[in-house]
């Protein structure tokens, strides 16, 4: 996490072919105009125009073999090691800025949520994601694993559209593929260091090369630390035990070992081991919520509804979320004083954990046209988080100490939300037979896959004395479970060349999942220490799901540089299990499914100097997994574990994970690059995606909480069992936490200066724009649009290179995303937790290679 790829000095694209005099002249004129406009040495730019340059070909493994990105009927964005270094990419948040149709919600590391084509994850705490992530072909299931280390990364591929047929489990809306670098053919040693504002310090080194004619090895290690760019105004911030100083800092380490062994010309092995460690401080954030025992004063602005006692109070937030909270009158008094700006308890953290990933692959060309491939994968990750959602952590809650009751142990304290805690481990095997005869059958692949995983997850509410650094005194464990998943699947792919320029590819996968859930003991009340996977199992259940996932693609190669394609594919996201309540029918929830229909075109124009790829798609999405109201049948259940007693008449019923409804998405994506000359290059990306809930749907969690006043959203109507059947309507609303429009534009200029002989220089600027996005399914509160600008100047001479960079050059202060919680603190409760994006940072990166 947070490490750039190999340092890439300015390089000129490979020179291939030629350009007509008219095209070259027009490009020269445009290059001269741009150079003059931004004050760069236009003479140097024109001097470098030796016609014949083409954009580089990019090789991807989106279909598990190496292919040209421009020759496959799939929408893929690939960021190479050079892109990672030149654009200063540190993680998936940066990847999302430059990728059409991809966004990334980094609430905290444990709750990270990648989104492809508007298919947002309505509950970020589910054990599987809508987007499948892979490291070297091995599946990374948990969201705290997916923002992987970028140490010595050769390429990051964002594969759009369902890939369930070839990739399998949970490649529901697409996949992220991390491809680490392999050992080189010659000895290479690199060392790189970074110094930046807000105490940014990075160091990394690598050694790569052959041990003999058959074995190559790559060794790499890195360390990165950063204090964060937002000030924490808590009086004890400088003494913090979890977040010290500013907000958003981190301390990361990573190591990578890659071993390649080729004993014969037909047999090869590749082994990879990756280790990473992270201690991430609390994100820059604040909360705004309804009044109650946990929040002394309300800070919302719409939907006034009266509670059981007292006058009406605002129960929702409408409009744009501000960057910083506005203090109310009470927060400026001595008794309830809250400093301005961000105030986060310094005992908080965002994520602490370690990750270990291992892969072993083998390829055997045992006959002409035939290859047998094997891949073993191992993952082992642990995680802990500890964050306080308190708006004012300087004062405790309003719970009275007298008379004694259930809440007495936490009276006057502040709360910390700690989830998920635990770890995930898995082992997987894949065997794939490839046949490439090259006539009618271009390619055929047949394979099988099996995996076993264990997921320990517990969630705690912890309570501590305010304005102190003492550890928590009371804990309530409200979730504690172990999941064991066994997955078996068979898959096949066939590509037929039906005519010289026309081909069809069919893919099909059968999957069977056996899910086992151990519900472990939770807290009988507030106790000193949390419960975890060592606690006794109080109930176990086992369920099996099986399904088929097809994909078909038609492709027409209009010219060697122009491909047209159409595809239809089904995506499936695993069903799951809920801790048993009163109704056995709600012990499981069904898989999410979608059918995606896509038409696209991949093109290289102007003698390979202009690349334009475009795709349009329609998605029919059913069975969205989210929060639904629990059922309370008359018959009691002996093995009920949680929320067993029916709620009192007229009060909200608890929620559970279920299938809440359907949606449709349609959109268009455009990306590419234009090589104006040997010196000038433009790259661009644009996406429009219209994701809407289907008509007739309600937000069960919002209706259940009774927060709607009948004006900003509809009043709740319940059936005789107390379940909401109307109110809080969301049919036609935009899906939450995903922007409708994204755009990116980059300008790059390679040049030399006469007074710096032998020094190659590169200037680059990037501007990205993201549309506003709604925080909630009610479409009431939103995160405003944002425009970010980055700039850098790189120099390369001999074995040395350096890069001076600025991120968020104009210091835009913005909310990057926000959590929305409703009903979690009882009826009529709601809270929003806006998280802020990184402010302007500057730095210099210096590297040496031999």
Q: What are the tens digits of pLDDT across the range 235-287?
A: 999 998 899 999 999 999 999 999 999 999 999 999 999 999 999 999 999 99
Helix (H) or strand (E) holding 33: helix 21-38
Asked whether the predicted pLDDT for residue 44 surpasses 90, the reply is: no
Residues 307-327: pLDDT tens digits? 876 789 999 999 999 999 999
Strands 174-180, 773-774: parallel, antiparallel or unpaired by DSSP? unpaired
Reported as type and span, the H/E element at residue 85 is helix 81-86
What pLDDT shows up at residue 38?
36
C-alpha span between 76 and 99 (Å, rounded): 9
Range of weakest confidence among 201-210, 396-405, 437-446, 550-559: 396-405
Buried b (16+ CB within 10 A) or exposed e, 132-169: bbbbbbbbbbbbbbbbbbbbbbebbbbbbbbbbbbbbb
pLDDT band at 645; cut points 50, 70, 90: confident
pLDDT at 9 over 80: no
pLDDT of residue 194: 98
Say if residue 123 is exposed, middle or buried (CB neighbours under 10 Å; 0-12, 13-18, 19+): middle
Phi, psi of 346 (to 5 degrees): -70, 0
More confident: 159 or 169: 159
Per-residue pLDDT at 406: 87
Q: How far is CA 122 from the centre of its chain?
A: 14
E strand residue ranges, 655-785: 655-675, 680-693, 717-718, 724-726, 741-751, 760-770, 773-774, 781-783
Half-sphere exposure of 91 (CA within 13 A, CB side): 19
Sheet of 319-320, strand order: 319-320, 781-783, 773-774
d(CA 145, CA 355): 7
Q: What pTM does this model have?
A: 0.92
Q: What is the CATH number of domain 26-30+33-353+361-584+595-640+651-849?
A: 2.40.170.20
Residue 579: pLDDT band by 50, 70, 90 thresholds?
confident
Per-residue pLDDT at 29 exceeds 90: no
pLDDT > 50? residue 19: no
Query: Tell me: the pLDDT tens digits for 452-508?
Result: 999 999 999 999 999 999 999 999 999 999 999 999 999 999 999 999 999 999 999
Write out the two tokens for 791: 């700039």
> Angle CA(680)–CA(686)–CA(692) in degrees, nearest 5?
175
Residue 281 CA to residue 243 CA, distance in Å, equals 5
Average pLDDT over the chain, rounded to an integer: 91
């Amino acid at each position: 996490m947070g490490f750039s790829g190999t340092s890439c000095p300015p390089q000129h694209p490979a020179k291939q072919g030629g350009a007509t005099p008219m095209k070259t002249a027009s490009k020269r004129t445009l290059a001269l105009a741009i150079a003059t406009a931004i004050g760069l040495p236009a003479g140097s730019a024109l001097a470098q125009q030796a016609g014949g340059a083409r954009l580089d070909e990019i090789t991807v493994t989106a279909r598990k073999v190496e292919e040209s990105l421009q020759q496959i009927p799939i929408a893929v964005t690939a960021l190479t090691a050079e892109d990672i270094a030149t654009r200063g990419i540190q993680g998936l948040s940066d990847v999302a800025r430059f990728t059409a149709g991809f966004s990334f919600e980094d609430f905290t590391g444990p709750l990270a949520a990648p989104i492809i084509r508007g298919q947002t994850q309505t509950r970020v705490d589910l054990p599987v994601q809508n987007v499948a992530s892979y490291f070297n072909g091995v599946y990374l299931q948990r969201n705290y694993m997916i923002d992987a280390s970028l140490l010595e990364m050769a390429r990051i591929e964002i594969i759009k559209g369902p890939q369930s047929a070839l990739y399998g489990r949970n490649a529901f809306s697409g996949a992220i593929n991390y491809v680490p670098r392999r050992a080189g053919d010659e000895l290479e040693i690199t060392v790189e260091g970074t110094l930046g504002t807000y105490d940014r310090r990075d160091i990394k080194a690598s050694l790569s090369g052959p041990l003999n004619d058959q074995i190559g090895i790559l060794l790499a290690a890195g360390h990165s630390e950063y204090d964060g760019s937002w000030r924490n105004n808590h009086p004890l911030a400088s003494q913090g035990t979890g977040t010290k100083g500013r907000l958003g800092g981190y301390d990361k380490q990573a190591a990578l070992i890659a071993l390649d062994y080729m004993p014969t010309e037909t047999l090869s092995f590749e082994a990879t081991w990756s280790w990473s460690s992270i201690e991430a401080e609390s994100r820059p954030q604040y909360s705004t919520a309804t009044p109650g025992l946990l929040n002394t004063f309300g800070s919302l602005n719409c939907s006034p509804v009266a509670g059981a006692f007292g006058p009406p109070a605002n129960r929702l937030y409408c409009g744009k979320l501000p960057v910083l909270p506005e203090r109310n009158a009470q927060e400026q008094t001595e008794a309830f004083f809250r400093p301005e700006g961000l105030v986060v308890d310094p005992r908080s953290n965002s994520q602490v954990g370690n990750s270990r990933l291992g892969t072993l692959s083998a390829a055997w060309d045992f006959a002409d046209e035939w290859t047998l491939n094997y891949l073993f994968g191992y993952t082992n990750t642990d995680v802990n988080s500890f964050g306080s959602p308190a708006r004012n952590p300087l004062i405790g809650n309003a719970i009275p100490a007298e008379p004694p009751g259930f809440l007495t142990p936490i009276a006057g304290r502040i709360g910390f939300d700690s989830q998920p805690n635990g770890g995930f481990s898995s082992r997987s095997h894949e065997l794939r037979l490839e046949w490439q005869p090259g006539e009618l059958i271009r390619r055929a692949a047949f394979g099988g896959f099996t995996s076993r995983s264990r997921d320990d997850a517990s969630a705690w509410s912890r309570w501590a004395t305010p304005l102190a650094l003492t550890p928590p005194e009371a804990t309530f464990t409200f979730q504690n479970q172990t999941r064991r998943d066994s997955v078996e699947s068979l898959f096949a792919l066939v590509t037929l060349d039906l005519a010289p320029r026309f081909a069809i590819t069919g893919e099909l996968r059968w999957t069977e999942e056996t899910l086992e859930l151990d519900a472990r003991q939770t807290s009988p009340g507030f106790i000193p220490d949390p419960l975890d996977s060592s606690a006794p199992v109080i109930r176990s259940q086992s369920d099996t799901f099986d399904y088929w996932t097809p994909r078909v693609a038609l492709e027409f190669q209009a010219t060697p540089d122009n491909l047209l394609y159409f595809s239809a594919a089904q995506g499936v996201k695993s069903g799951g299990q809920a801790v048993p309540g009163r109704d056995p029918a709600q012990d499981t929830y069904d898989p999410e499914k979608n059918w995606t229909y896509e038409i696209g075109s991949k093109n290289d124009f102007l003698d390979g100097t202009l690349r334009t790829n475009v795709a349009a798609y329609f998605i029919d999405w059913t069975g969205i997994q989210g929060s639904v109201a629990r059922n309370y049948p008359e018959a009691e259940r002996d093995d009920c574990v949680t929320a067993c007693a029916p709620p009192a008449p007229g009060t909200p019923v608890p929620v559970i994970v279920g299938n809440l409804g359907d949606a449709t998405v349609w959109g268009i994506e455009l990306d590419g690059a234009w090589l104006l000359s040997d010196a000038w290059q433009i790259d661009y990306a644009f996406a429009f995606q219209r994701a809407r809930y289907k008509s007739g749907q309600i937000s069960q969690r919002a209706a259940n909480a009774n927060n709607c006043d009948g004006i900003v959203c509809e009043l709740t109507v319940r059936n005789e069992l107390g379940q909401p059947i109307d109110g809080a309507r969301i049919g036609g609303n935009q899906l939450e936490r995903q922007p409708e429009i994204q755009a990116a534009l980059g300008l790059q200029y390679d040049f030399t200066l006469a007074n710096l002989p032998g020094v190659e220089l590169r200037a680059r600027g990037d501007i990205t724009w993201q549309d506003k996005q709604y925080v909630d399914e009610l479409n009431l509160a939103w995160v405003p649009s944002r425009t970010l600008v980055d700039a850098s100047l790189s120099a390369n001479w001999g074995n040395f290179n350096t890069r001076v960079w600025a991120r968020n050059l104009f210091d835009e202060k913005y909310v990057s995303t926000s959590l929305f919680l409703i009903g979690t603190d009882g009826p009529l409760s709601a809270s929003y937790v806006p998280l802020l994006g990184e402010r302007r940072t500057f730095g210099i990166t210096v590297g040496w290679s031999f």
